[in-house]
Amino acid sequence: MKCPYCGSEDVEAVKSWEMPKMGYRVTHYRCRRCGGLFNHYVGRGREFVLRVGPRRQVSQ
């Protein structure tokens, strides 16, 4: 797993849970390098990453 913020592979899985309604399994990761947080969704033959609660949120 790669960090979507800095590209580092030094990430750790914090926790994981199921989303039965959506059919996804979610794993919450934290990057040891930049402290970025992101969720990895897997299910229904596809997977994707969503950034959540970055240490430095650059919005607007």
Count CB atoms within 10 A of the CB of residue 27: 16
Count CB atoms within 10 A of the CB of residue 3: 22
Of 8, 25, 28, 54, which one interacts with Zn ion (CB under 5 A)? 8
Of 12, 14, 22, 33, which one interacts with Zn ion (CB under 5 A)? 33
Q: Cβ of residue 5: shortest distance to Zn ion, in angstroms?
A: 4
Query: Is the Cβ–Cβ distance between 11 and 24 less than 8 Å?
Result: no
Residue 5 binds Zn ion, judged by CB under 5 A: yes
Strand-pair partners of 24: 19
Applying CB under 5 A, the residues found at the interface with Zn ion are: 3, 5-6, 8, 31, 33-34, 36
